[in-house]
Chains A and B, each alone.
Chain A
Amino acid sequence: MIRGHQTHTIWIAFLLHRISGVALALFIPVHFWVLSHALTAPKTLDGFLHWTELGIVKFAEFGLVFLLSVHMFGGLRLMALEFLPWTSGQKTLAASAVAVSTLLAGLFLLKAI
């Protein structure tokens, strides 16, 4: 059941921060493991990098760049909220984090294809 507060923009920002954080935490061990092959088994790494040339994987990377960016900008908004004097326009700031992240991830995708 969706409760009243769960339709609030800032609650959605909280959910996005949490989901992006968990998603990044699941992706990062794989990211590390793949990169650790660079020195000892560069062919394995190249095989993996070749796989990332697939369109669907590039789109997934777009998603990862977006999640990383939105987790950082959203997190900066949270820390400003906690440590700095209150500023109004929190919804605008949260929306801006999504907008900037979409832009950065989009730029990444354009360079990737």
Chain B
Amino acid sequence: MMTLRLYMAQRISALIMAPLVLMHIGVMIYAIQGGLSAAEILGRTQGSAFWFLFYGIFVIALSVHAAIGLRTVLSEWAGLRGSLLNGFSWAVLVLLLILGMQAVYGVTAT
């Protein structure tokens, strides 16, 4: 079931991400030229407060958005309901937040 709160969280997280996604695509097109390396990525992001905030906000919005999105798909297409559906959504949120923050730390920490 999609409550108003979930519905709004899905839209707000999407609106937050729209400009971030555009910029992410721009960075990908720029950075892929000549191939990628760990040193090159770190050279751009390590120790940068800007990229920490950029990717940190991105990860939080994405985790919320993906958890609610998958919840909708599982509810509509797999008939999942109740605590199973809630449990799955929370698990997706927590997993993505942990993996995402590890990635943000990995590329921005010094």
On A, residues with C-beta under 8 Å from B are 18, 21-22, 24-25, 28-29, 31-33, 35-40, 42-43, 45-46, 49, 52-53, 61, 65, 68-69, 72, 75-76, 79, 82-83, 104, 107-108, 111-112
Contacts and interface: CB of A to CB of B under 8 A. Distances in A.
Interface in B1-22: 11, 14-15, 17-18, 21-22
Contact of A68 (B25, B59, B103): B25
B100 A32 contact: yes
Interface of B: 11, 14-15, 17-18, 21-22, 24-25, 28-30, 32-33, 35-39, 41-42, 59, 62, 66, 69-70, 73, 92, 95-96, 99-100, 102-103, 105-107, 109
- Chain B interface SS verdict (over half): helix
B103 A82 contact: no
A21 B41 contact: no
Nearest to B30: A111
B14 A79 contact: yes
